A and B are shown apart, each in its own frame.
Chain A
Amino acid sequence: MKFKFWGVRGSIPTPGPRTVKYGGNTTCIEIRTDDNDLFILDAGTGIHALAQSLLKEMPIHANIFITHTHWDHIQGLPFFTPIFISNNRITIYGSQDPVTGEGISRALTVQLQYSFFPIREAQLNARVEYKTLIPGVPINIGKATITPIVLSHPVLNFGYRVDCDGQSLFFTGDYEPELNIYSPEDEEYEQFQVLIEEKWQEVVTAMANVDALIVDSSYTVSEYVSKRGWGHGTYASAIQLATAAKVKKLFFTHHEPTRTDADLDVIYQSLLQQYPAVGFDFELAQEGFEIPL
């Protein structure tokens, strides 16, 4: 199994000379199994370049797993060229939204409306299917097994574990480890902390021992002070997660949109100094990088 980053930026695309190294496209990860089965995690703007690379392979069967439906994770769906070409098969997987009660099909349907896009859903030539996943229930596609888990974010967000060919990776989507909503002096604080710790254990178990852990690490610890509750993690929380889950390699992603390449390089150097011996390698996710497992 191998994977490639096509988009690593958080929130909004950031093209320009200062983001050339790490890339400015929003989240998209391509996974290829040893049998060349195609899995795509999220459909941010990075999926457009991925689509261009797939044109030579048509017809394709793409399995697209959406972590959540915030714009930066679905915005590329209408620009995923294979949906317009017959004989392609596109299966889109995701959660049922508890607030609207609707399935993942809404992520595309909402975008393909007259006011927002010139082509109607009925005009797509590929065979597009939607599948609603249930957290904790694995699904098998080819030799791969994909297992979703709910991870805290301001909308329902799935983290996905992919196991195939004796290897494994886990992608968090957007994730902020749960916070205690009570103050230590509140009667409810302790009980809520117990619930948080139970959930943390569930999360660590879901990503245990993976070869590659890809984690939303939007902020530094000092930036996080004013971003609590925004739904994103820190470099430190990603390290903590990777340590607890005993992973082989950690990738920080969802780079904060105002960061330049130079900023990210500085952050990486300081992380290397701060965490000299965590027992696993870590890197900043970089658009265009392919990682064999």
Chain B
Amino acid sequence: MTQLDNDKLIACVDRMPAFPKSVQQVVHLTNDINASAKDIVRVIECDPVMTVKILKAINSAFYGLPKKITSVQRAVVHIGLNTIKNLALGVAAMGMLDTQNKANFNTAQFLLHALTTAAISKQLAERLRCSPSECSDSFVAGLLHDFGKVVFTEFMPIEFKMALEKSNLLQVPLHETELEFIGINHAQAGKILAEKWGLSEQLIAAIAHHHDSGGAKSALEDCVFAANQISKHLRFGDGGNPVLESFSEATAARFGLQHELPADFAMQPLIESLGDLQAIKTEAQSFIHL
């Protein structure tokens, strides 16, 4: 078992590049003086690495915000579009995440999983009649929930590869095999990073607890948990974890589901109630250009 050094982890992530398509898009859009602001914001919002780097910069102690900024849109209003654009360009200058990596982790499929989880999580929050800012937080939390896996791919590829292979071979949860080979799982790594970046308590909790089945959870945590299961069940991309998790009694109750059923049966009424989820997949795919 290898223990990941937290300080080293944080320092490495500071230098971590973003996903290829968004890097290309940011460079393209920032070279065009007539590019629309919303197009630039959309690219940043759809890339977990760009998003966390913007949120990290704006939530730093230097901006003394009484309330944490949890979305790229809010960051734009607070600090101005050009500064956000240049922060994104700074991330783009770090290069692109390698699609060929030693962990054999398919980052394009991962991004599809993250983006569809984000979009479904937002839809679930809307269904629960959460406030617009909570719905936007649900998107961000869905996008970032598996961030730890990108970090493992970059910095612990050999160990992460073994975790992925064992999870796939024995059909056991990836977060368990990660514990075995890396010493912490992606939810724990995500929590450490999210805390260090100064993200909001709610976002930290949603990232930290997205594999916990017990205990009382916030609506945001429940949305991310359920969206993650739906995205996996519908095979929208691939986060590397083949195992569906059961809904706890409380989470099932929040969405009016029967928790004693196996997860795929339990979530069926919820999936049907959300309408055409293929559209979410298609939109995410068009962004990633798979």
Contact = CB atoms under 8 A, between A and B. Distances in A.
Contacts of B37: 181, 229
Interface string A152-163: 111111000000
Interface string A137-159: 10000000000001011111100
Contact of B90 (A99, A150, A229): A99
Main secondary structure of the interface of A (DSSP, over half): loop
Contacts of B78: 150, 199
Nearest to B45: A188
Contacts of A198: 77
A132 interface: yes
Contacts of A291: none
Nearest to A190: B132
A106 to B, nearest CB: 14
A183 B183 CA distance: 48
Interface residues of A, number: 31
B99 interface: no
A182 interface: yes
Nearest to A135: B64
Given A95-B62, A137-B64, A186 B83 contact: no
Interface residues of B, number: 29
B73 interface: yes
A112 B21 CA distance: 40
Given A155-B80, A192-B73, A195-B73, 15 more contacts: A98-B58, A98-B62, A98-B63, A99-B87, A135-B65, A150-B63, A150-B78, A152-B77, A152-B79, A154-B83, A181-B37, A181-B76, A182-B38, A191-B136, A195-B74
A188 B73 contact: yes
Nearest to B77: A195
Interface string B31-65: 00000111001000000000000000110111111
B132 A194 contact: yes
B192 interface: no
Contacts of A186: 38
Given A98-B58, A99-B86, A229-B37, A154 B80 contact: yes
Given A98-B87, A99-B87, A195-B74, A136 B64 contact: yes
B66 interface: yes
B62 A132 contact: yes
B244 interface: no
9 contacts: A98-B60, A99-B90, A150-B63, A154-B81, A154-B83, A155-B80, A155-B83, A199-B78, A229-B37
B57 A98 contact: yes
Interface in A171-229: 178, 181-182, 186, 188, 190-192, 194-196, 198-199, 229
Contacts of A191: 73, 132-133, 136
Contact of B83 (A132, A136, A156, A229): A156
Given A96-B62, A191-B136, A156 B79 contact: yes
Interface of A: 95-96, 98-99, 132, 134-137, 150, 152-157, 178, 181-182, 186, 188, 190-192, 194-196, 198-199, 229, 231
A182 B174 CA distance: 40
Contacts of A199: 77-78
B82 interface: yes
Nearest to B37: A181
A200 B86 CA distance: 24
Contacts of A192: 73, 77
A164 to B, nearest CB: 22
Contacts of B77: 152, 178, 192, 195-196, 198-199
Interface in B154-184: none
B183 to A, nearest CB: 31
Contacts of B87: 98-99
A216 to B, nearest CB: 14
A200 to B, nearest CB: 10
B62 A181 contact: no
A9 B77 CA distance: 27
A253 B209 CA distance: 52
Contacts of A157: 80
Contacts of A188: 38, 73
Nearest to A136: B64
Contacts of A196: 77
Nearest to A192: B73
B34 to A, nearest CB: 11
Nearest to B76: A181
Given A181-B38, A191-B136, A199-B78, A134 B62 contact: yes
A254 B285 CA distance: 47
A156 B41 contact: no
